[in-house]
């Protein structure tokens, strides 16, 4: 069907959900040609729809009858099909947004003006439902899913048949050979994205499987990753992604049994919790220990935590965006946080411009001017030398 329908509103009970729709499920015209067609009898038909109300389908059936009367004695199937494809939305006065209200699980389609009955239906004065009008009724919670799934499938089919150019390798190919990110709609060829995903998974950067477009943070879905990488790589990706997600939760520990290693949520104040996998009480380092030993271990843990904090304070800095601790070994002072991908200056911890991060080190008014590749020790020596020169100058 052709029309300017761009949105669909689904009213489920008191709730209203509005979604962008480019394709609607088709009307299904099933017919049988009698022996005296087209000289005397019209085709015997039924008309069904997922998203039109039965009264609207009845109105369309009446219109098909009218078209037969106008063309009696001639073939009429082509005229019917053209009407259903080209004029259905206009005939029923359906505009954007299309509203589908659910009453007892049955979709009741309305026009964009929230009219109880469309103008075309009022004119037809339909007193009862036509037996040829078939409404494919789904449970009310499935109507939105049905429409969105069909819309996505048709959009993908339309995309697959067009020619596109990859923004990475600049090769042209059919859309079926491209991967499109769901959130941003940016797309690149599958060959480039496969290599990109493999490198990130191999390096353990499972949170970095994002769109390669600059400043775009759209994540690839699990299905997209599984489609491109092999089984072992996807297993590693899935495991590391789960581990990375759990590490962000403070009250999650791992069962210390080597054969288990199940992630466990700490539920009690003293740090003990039941491992759901092997059914034992889990403490971060011990299993089934006496209270006295537990207290000693708890004290040792506090000491270790304090030492760890001291070490982190001396040897690392926190990302100004997410607070993750980062240690710098080599390279320039433009840092990239492995957790949130934020660019920042190692010297002053300033957040850097993503388009031109090194502009920070070219700013003569900035204390980090010309220090993009300056080591920490050299910075200390320069500051001490600067202070000494100031003291000499004062004398």
| Distance (Å, whole) CA 379 – CA 385 | 10
Name residue 263's beta-bridge partners. Answer: 254
Angle between helices 77-86 and 54-70 (to 10 degrees): 140
* Number of other CB atoms surrounding residue 163 within 10 Å: 8
Chain-centre distance for alpha carbon 279:
36
Q: Copy the structure tokens of residue 18.
A: 């509005």
Eight-state DSSP code of residue 351: B
Q: Counting Cβ atoms within 10 Å, is residue 335 exposed (0-12), middle (13-18) or buried (19+)?
A: buried
Q: How many beta carbons lie within 10 A of that of residue 36, not counting itself?
A: 9
Q: Which residues are catalytic?
A: 332
DSSP assignments along 50-74, one per residue: SSS-HHHHHHHHHHHHHHHHHTTTS
Q: Identify whether the C-beta of residue 25 lies closer than 8 Å to the C-beta of residue 94.
A: no
CA 349 to chain centre: 31
How many residues make up the chain in this entry? 395
Contact 11, 100 (CB under 8 A): yes
Query: Between helices 190-202 and 231-247, what is the axis angle to 10°?
Result: 50
One DSSP character per residue, 70-137 reads HTTTS--HHHHHHHHHHTHHHHTT--SSEEEEEETTEEEEE-TT--SS-HHHHHHT--S--TTEEE--
How far, in Å, CA of 270 to CA of 281, rounded? Answer: 12
């Amino acid at each position: 069907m052709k029309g300017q329908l761009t949105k669909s509103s689904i009213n489920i009970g008191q709730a209203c959900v509005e979604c962008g729709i480019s394709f609607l499920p088709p009307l299904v015209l099933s017919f049988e040609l009698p022996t005296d067609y087209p000289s005397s009898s019209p085709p015997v038909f039924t008309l069904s729809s997922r998203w039109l109300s039965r009264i609207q389908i009845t109105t369309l059936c009446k219109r098909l009858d009218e078209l037969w009367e106008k063309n009696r004695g001639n073939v009429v199937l082509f005229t019917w099909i053209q009407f259903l494809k080209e004029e259905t939305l206009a005939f029923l006065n359906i505009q954007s947004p299309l509203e589908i209200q659910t009453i007892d699980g049955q979709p009741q389609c309305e026009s964009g003006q929230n009219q109880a009955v469309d103008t075309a239906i009022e004119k037809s004065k339909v007193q009862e439902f036509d037996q040829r009008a078939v409404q494919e009724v789904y449970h009310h919670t499935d109507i939105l899913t049905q429409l969105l799934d069909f819309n996505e499938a048709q959009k993908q089919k339309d995309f697959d048949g067009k020619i596109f150019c990859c923004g990475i390798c600049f090769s042209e190919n059919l859309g079926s050979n491209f991967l499109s990110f769901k959130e941003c709609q940016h797309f690149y060829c599958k060959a480039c994205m496969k290599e990109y995903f493999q490198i990130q998974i191999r390096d353990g950067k499972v949170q970095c499987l994002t769109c390669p477009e600059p400043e775009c943070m759209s994540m690839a879905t699990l299905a997209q990753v599984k489609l491109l990488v092999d089984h072992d790589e996807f297993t590693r990706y899935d495991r590391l992604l789960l581990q990375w997600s759990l590490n962000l939760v403070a009250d999650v520990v791992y069962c210390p049994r080597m054969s288990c290693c199940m992630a466990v949520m700490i539920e009690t104040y003293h740090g003990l919790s039941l491992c759901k996998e092997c059914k034992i009480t889990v403490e971060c380092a011990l299993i089934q220990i006496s209270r006295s030993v537990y207290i000693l271990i708890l004290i040792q843990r506090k000491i270790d935590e304090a030492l760890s904090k001291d070490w982190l304070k001396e040897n690392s800095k926190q990302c100004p965006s997410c607070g993750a601790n980062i240690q710098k070994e080599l390279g320039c002072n433009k840092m990239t946080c492995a957790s949130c991908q934020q660019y920042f200056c190692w010297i002053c911890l300033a957040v850097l411009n993503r388009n031109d991060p090194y502009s920070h080190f070219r700013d003569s008014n900035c204390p980090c001017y010309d220090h993009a590749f300056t080591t920490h020790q050299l910075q200390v020596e320069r500051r001490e030398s600067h202070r000494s020169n100031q003291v000499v100058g004062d004398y």
